[in-house]
C-alpha cells in the first residue's frame, strides 16, 4: 500500500451516492448481532483527510485504492485496558463492493471485537 493517499485515491468512489447507500443499508438492516445500527450517526457528508474518510461515526476502509471491495466500519464501543487486561474495540463491519458507478452492494455484515495491546517502549 506504499504511496496510498486517500485524498488522491478516493476519487473513484462517488461519495454522495456512497452516503445514500450507507443510510439506506443502516435503515434496512437495523440490527447486527444485537447492536442497534441506528445509534451510529451518519453525517451530511463524508469528511476526507490524507489517511481517513469518515461519515459521522462510520469510516471507509480501502485495502487497495483501485479495488471494488471496501468496508464500512463503525467502532461502537471502546473498553480501555485495566491492569493486566488488554483493551477491547468493538466494531460493526459491512463488507461491501462497488458494482458500477454509484452502485454498491453489502456482501456481509458482522460484529468484530479486537483486543488492543498497549506496547510499552
On whether residue 100 sits in a domain, the answer given is yes
| Structural domain includes residue 14 | yes
pLDDT at 3: 45
Per the structure, how many domains does the chain have? 1
Give backbone dihedrals phi and psi of 98, rounded to 5 degrees, phi first: -90, 115
**Structural domain includes residue 1:** no
Q: Residue 7: what are its φ and ψ, rounded to 5°?
A: -60, -30
C-alpha torsion sign, points 64, 68, 72, 78: negative
pTM of the predicted protein model: 0.85
Q: What is the mean pLDDT of the chain?
A: 88
Taking only the tens place, the pLDDT of each residue in 29-61 is 999 999 999 999 999 999 988 778 999 999 999
What is the domain extent for residue 112? 6-116
Residue 92 lies in a domain: yes
Given a cut of 60, is residue 96 above it in pLDDT? yes
Residue 67 above 90 pLDDT? no
Amino acid at each position: 500500500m506504499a504511496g496510498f493517499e486517500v485524498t488522491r485515491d478516493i476519487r473513484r468512489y462517488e461519495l454522495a451516492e456512497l452516503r445514500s447507500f450507507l443510510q439506506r443499508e443502516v435503515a434496512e438492516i437495523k440490527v447486527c448481532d444485537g447492536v442497534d445500527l441506528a445509534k451510529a450517526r451518519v453525517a451530511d457528508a463524508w469528511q476526507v483527510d490524507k489517511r481517513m474518510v469518515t461519515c459521522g461515526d462510520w469510516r471507509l476502509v480501502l485495502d487497495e485504492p483501485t479495488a471494488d471491495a471496501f468496508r464500512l466500519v463503525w467502532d461502537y464501543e471502546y473498553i480501555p485496558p485495566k491492569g493486566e487486561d488488554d483493551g477491547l474495540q468493538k466494531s460493526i463491519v459491512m463488507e461491501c463492493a462497488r458494482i458500477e458507478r454509484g452502485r454498491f452492494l453489502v456482501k456481509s455484515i458482522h460484529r468484530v471485537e479486537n483486543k488492543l495491546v498497549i506496547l510499552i517502549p
